Structure 1
Amino acid sequence: MSEDQFTRLFKYMQERFDKIDSELETKATTEQVDKIYQTLDGITDRLNTQESEMAALLVQDREA
C-alpha cells in the first residue's frame, strides 16, 4: 500500500469514526432510559391508584 493510499484510507476512516461519534452523542444513555422507565412506572402506579379510588367512590355513590 502506497503512502497516498494509506493517507486516503486514514482520512476516510477518520471521517467514518467522526460520524459514528456524532451519532453516539445524540443517543440516550442507559441511565437516561432507565430514568424514563422509572418515571413512567411512577405515573402508571398513580393512575392505577386513581382508577381504584374512582371505582370505590362510584360503588359508594351507588349504594347511597
Structure 2
Amino acid sequence: MKKILMVISYLGLACTLLPSILVLIGVFTLQNHFWLMSIGMVLWFSTSPFWMKSKSLDEVEE
C-alpha cells in the first residue's frame, strides 16, 4: 500500500513540475497548465502525508 501511495504522490509532484516547463517551451496553454497543476497539488497533498510520516518525539528519545 505504501508503494502505491508513493507512486501516486510522485505522479502528483510531476504534474506540478512538468506543466511549468511545457508552458515555457510552448507545448501547453496556460489553461492546461492550471488544470494539471491543480490535479498534481491534490494528488501530492492527499497521498504524501500517509507515507512520509515521521517518528514521534517519544520514539526518537527512547
Q: TM-score range by the shorter chain?
A: 0.3 to 0.5
For the pair shown, the structure with the greater C-alpha radius of gyration is 1
**TM-score, normalization by structure 2:** 0.38
Where relative contact order (Cα < 8 A, 6+ residues apart) is larger, the structure is: 2
The answer to which structure has the higher helix fraction is: 1
**TM-score, normalization by structure 1:** 0.38
